[in-house]
Structure formats: C-alpha cells, structure tokens
A and B are shown apart, each in its own frame.
Chain A
Amino acid sequence: MTNNAEEQELAKLELTARLSLIEAMIAEGRQTTERWGWTFVLWGVAYYVAIAWATWGHSNFAWPVTMVGTGILTGVIASRIGGKQPETTMGRAIWAIWLAVGISLFVFCLSASTAGRIDQQTFIAAVAVMLGTANAASSIILKWGAQFFFALVWWTAAAISCFATVAQSSIVFLSAIFLGQIVFGSYMMISEAREKKGRERKSGAAHA
C-alpha cells in the first residue's frame, strides 16, 4: 500500500470514528435516567389514604389535604433524586401533562365537593377519566404500550362508574387504583431498575 493510500485510509477511519462518536453521544444523551415509577406507587397509596380518611374519618379535608401533601412530597423527593438530570423536551411534555391533569382534578374535585354538586359515581368517573387521559397522552409520547393499557383500565373504570351503584363504583375505583397506580408503578420501578443495570453493564464494557 502506498503512503497516500495509507493516509487516506487513516483519514477515513478518523472520520468514521467522529461519526460514531456523534451517534454514541446522541444515544447516551437520549437515554433517560429519570425514574418516575415511585410516584405512581406514592400517589396510589395517597388515594387509599384519602379514601380511608374520608370514609372512616368523615372529613371534608381528607382529599384536599392528602392531595396537596402528596404533591409537596412528590416535589421534594423529585428535586432530591432528579436534580442532576438535564431537562429534555420529552420530559417537559410529560411533566406538563401530569401537572395540568393534577391541577384540573384538584380544582374540579375541590369546587364540586364544596358546592355539594357531585355524587360519588361522578367523582370517581371524573378522576378516572382524567387519569386515563394523562396515562394515554404519556404513553403516546413515550411510545409505551404498557402505559396505554393502564389508560384503558382507568377509562373502563370511569365508564363502569357512570352506570354502577355507589358500592360497585367504590370497588371499581379501588381496583383501578391498585392496577393503575400500585401495579403499574411497581412494574415501572422494576423496568427502570433493569434498564439501569443494563446501562451500567454496557457503560462498564465501553470504558473497559
């Protein structure tokens, strides 16, 4: 091989390495290390606490106090565990959906229950349909079929609640919380832990 051909080959290799570097860094940057599975479990538990408090404590403050408290707790934990993560457009889009749905639910439920113009079935249907909306929108952004399934769970609960008795709608709501929050949140946490492990293994190999 002549010197000129060798030089060309080296230049080609260097350019290919640069292109690979760009691809690798873009893939690295897009890898989300954000973990949100715990929020689903936390809010699932919060719904159960609010239901138990409202049922046995007969308090009008049960829902608003539990929801605001859980919102603050979510903010504090999220800022502690996710403070170093960069903001992505996708992350902001999902955050926007959940924040908007959360505020909408809070305003609607607080106003409707204070005015006394809402029965239990309607309350459950409103909460369930909004949670279905947020899950569906997130799943479409993330292209995540599993989350869309849980959106269907919420929508089904909303639809059933419109036709069911108070007792039936309560059972449907409790079941939907269990599936849509506790089961989905736990599944998400397991997936996130597996993903993290896989990334660490891959990263270790890359730096070896």
Chain B
Amino acid sequence: MPEPGIEPESGLPELNPVIHGKLRLALLSLLSTVEEAEFTWLRAKTNSTDGNLGAQLLKLEEAGYVAVEKKFVLRKPQTLYRMTVSGRQALTDYVQALKQLLGSAINV
C-alpha cells in the first residue's frame, strides 16, 4: 500500500515520504555534507528539540538511511550519525524527483 506523500501527476515521479518530512529532509541534507555528526551538532543546526530530533532520526534509521554509533569519549556518551549509501541514493533520487516535479509545475 503506498504511503501518503505528494500525489504525483501521471508519468511524474513520486516523492519519497520518509524523506519528504521537513526535519528529516534537513537532517539528510546536513548528513550528506559530513562523514558523521553528533546528535548535539544536528540539534544546533536544525534548531529542533531533543524529542523531535530523536524521533525523526529513528525513522531515518529504520528506513536504513542513517547509521547510528554510540560510544563514550572521555567518559561522556556520544551518539554519532552517519548517512548510509542507501540514504545518499534516496536523497539523490528525491532531489531528481523534486526537480522533475518542479519542472512540470513551472511548465503548467
């Protein structure tokens, strides 16, 4: 069953609903520029709350778009997020779809 997302016109690509969420899209875009990032860095960059950020990162993790690594540095817990290969591919596909949709919208 298709998940709710932006309904495409016939022949146009469908937007990935996992990525389409604003915060999730922002997180994937940020993670595409770095090798790995700490939870606190992502929170500062997106200006989001701990709860919301954690929930959205979990959705991305469940979709296989980000990988999580938890470790201790100087006895302090550190959670690191890294974009996976499928996450990078999904973001690329999303941008392509977005451009195609926008192109069709502009041509209307």
Contact = CB atoms under 8 A, between A and B. Distances in A.
A18 B38 contact: no
B33 A87 contact: no
Given A18-B20, A21-B25, A22-B25, A84 B41 contact: yes
B34 A86 contact: yes
Majority SS at the chain A contact face = helix
B1 interface: no
A45 B46 CA distance: 39
A8 B29 CA distance: 26
A25 interface: yes
Residues of A in contact with B, size category: 20 to 34
B18 to A, nearest CB: 14
Interface stretch (A26-34, A164-172, A186-194): A26-34
B32 interface: yes
Given A8-B108, A15-B102, A26 B26 contact: no
Given A22-B95, A86-B34, A86-B36, A11 B6 contact: yes
A19 interface: yes
Contacts, number: 70
Contacts of B41: 84-86
A29 B44 CA distance: 11
B34 A87 contact: yes
Interface in A1-59: 8, 11-12, 14-16, 18-19, 21-22, 25-26, 28-30
Interface in B61-108: 73, 95, 98-99, 101-102, 105-106, 108
18 contacts: A15-B102, A22-B25, A25-B26, A25-B29, A25-B33, A26-B32, A29-B30, A29-B31, A29-B45, A30-B33, A84-B40, A85-B41, A86-B38, A86-B41, A87-B34, A87-B35, A87-B36, A207-B47
